[in-house]
Chains A and B, each alone.
Chain A
Amino acid sequence: MKINKDNTDIMTAFFSQLEKIAKKDKNVIFLTADHGAWALAKFKKNLKNQYINMGISEQNMVSVAAGMALNKKKVFIFSITPFVTQRCLEQIKIDLCFPCLPVTIVGNGSSLTYASHGTSHQAMEDIPIMRSLPNLKIINPADNNSAKLSVDLAYQSNQPVYIKLDKGFFKDLNFSRQELSKGFVKRNNKGVCIITTGSMIHEISEIKKYLEKNKIKVSTIYIYLIKPLNKKKIANLIKKNSTLITIEEQHVDGGIGSQICEIISDYNLKIPIKRYGIKDFYSKRYGDRNWLRKVYNLDVEFLKKNILSWLKKINK
């Protein structure tokens, strides 16, 4: 049975799109700090002159990409998320963001993807950190269509872009490119609004069904472009809702929950909000992604019940 229309994983979708663009434009250069992907083998084979394995040298990879961007190259750099965002954070700040060079950072293994690999490979801090960098766009795709669009948006961008690229097979979300290009997608307008980003969107339908069974009207917002976020538009949309819930598989402080709180404050809205995300601690026990989500209270069963009990409590 097909999981999605392409019957392919999100990385294959991403790299197929990148290869398509790179074939047409020889200025597209792909650098990897020795991180591979099955889908990347084709790119490497077909576009030898546009591909470099830099070795395990993330800092130099960013600086080299900046130097190439000065010479009008459109460079995509790639590694496991914490390595390509945190090991070389200063290079990202000074060599890419400050001069505003159009280099795309592709972090692979979004959030808890590399759950059993340990804390070194997990990426729960990237959004709070990267969100603080001026000039950087942040895109968080969650299916093949949004992953392909992220390649197009990054290619067209005149400024640095960070793409938080997940791993594995995801159902099609059926959001149009037009909708996604606006930065976020809202469904319904009334009741409780669940706001989420990245692959947690795939968990929302079950939570929504559960709440609706309990006679609670639910609307949803999927945030695709984390930065820049169209704050004014979101403020206008969420003020129609009675209550807000944010769910994200990343550090709860500094992620989209924090962004929504900032909007509430900036636009003087008075809406109750509950944030779910990874709490401020490192688990010293490991398992698969679903197991680790349970540790951080991000599994659907916990969320369903906890949200319902919170809603009952605030509506008393």
Chain B
Amino acid sequence: MNINLTDKSKQIRKSVLDIVFNSKSGHIGGSLSCVDILVSLFYGKNLKFDPKQPNLKNRDRLIISKGHASAAFYSILSSLGYFNKKELETYCKNNTRLATHLNKDVPGVEFDTGSLGHGLGIGCGLAYSARLNKEKYKTYVLISDGELYEGSTWEALLFANNFKLNNLIIIVDRNKQIVMDKTEDCMILDPVADKLRSFGFNTIETDGHSIKKLNEVFKKIKKLKNIKPTAIIANTIKGKGVSFMEGNVKWHHSVPNQEEYEKAKAELD
């Protein structure tokens, strides 16, 4: 099963590369860093979802707060059949639904995101009201580590802890980079796990590129009988899968030229 999922990750990464290269836009680094997390959630059957019924009442809610990872998320959604893969060719073209930041008009997208630091609050509102409504689904929020610089994220963390939102799972894509710098070189974020733990979260660190480990974590937290919200810190590498992009701040939103594209594609094959 894991071999298949690894292949799926490769396939999604290739799609990300194609989208960015063909459209000459998008955020390649942060898209590549979260591919394995998304593959594990969807293809690892860790989320409750149905591409044929995107608004299924009991579906788990997944808010992609790092809306700039649209190339990855749209690749996953089209691969699952939420919409036709052909539509990926319209990415950033005139009259498209697929912009560089996520659009709720696209089936499978729960909320419009782009400006950082909004998604966790939305997720808190969903999780809290799901509890009021006695609905059993879980709310997952994928945030970038860059969002930990936003004050609103910490406001939301306080809320989640205060109401012991055990139906809320935050996944931090900890690629340790923002647009212009490495996080620890410009404004120190670490120790992220300690910080989240001290905010009342059941906190788990894992390799964000090991689908096996991600699957284990997602399955483990479902069995936990705790009253806390959960935070998964997925340690990742920005630009994962393409050697010259990995960990290089240049590739937050650079577009590969023909030569770079071919080199990257060969590495992903």
Contact = CB atoms under 8 A, between A and B. Distances in A.
Interface string B87-116: 000000000000000001000001110110
A91 B130 CA distance: 21
B134 to A, nearest CB: 11
B115 A63 contact: no
Interface stretch (A92-100, A144-152, A161-169): A92-100
Contacts of A70: 110-111, 122, 125-126, 129
A70 B109 CA distance: 13
Contacts of A60: 121, 124, 152, 155-156, 158-159
Interface in A249-269: none
A143 B137 CA distance: 44
Nearest to B153: A60
Interface residues of A, number: 25
A49 B129 CA distance: 11
A63 B133 contact: no
Contacts of B111: 66, 70, 95, 99
Interface residues of B, number: 29
B159 A64 contact: yes
A183 to B, nearest CB: 29
A62 B121 contact: yes
Contacts, number: 90
Nearest to B141: A67
Nearest to B110: A70
B44 interface: no
Contact of A99 (B104, B123, B132, B155): B104
Given A66-B122, A67-B123, A94-B115, A57 B158 contact: yes
B74 interface: no
Contact of B124 (A55, A63, A72, A91): A63
A94 B112 contact: yes
A264 to B, nearest CB: 36
Contacts of A63: 118-122, 124-125, 152, 156
A68 interface: yes
B73 interface: no
A136 interface: no
B151 interface: yes
Most A Cβ at <10 Å: residue of B111, B123, B151: B111
Interface in A143-189: none
Contacts of A216: none
A54 interface: yes
Contacts of B112: 94, 98-99
Nearest to B124: A64
A62 B152 CA distance: 10
The 3 closest A-B pairs by CB, nearest first: A67-B125, A63-B121, A60-B155
11 contacts: A55-B155, A57-B152, A63-B121, A63-B122, A64-B124, A66-B111, A67-B122, A67-B123, A70-B122, A71-B126, A73-B129
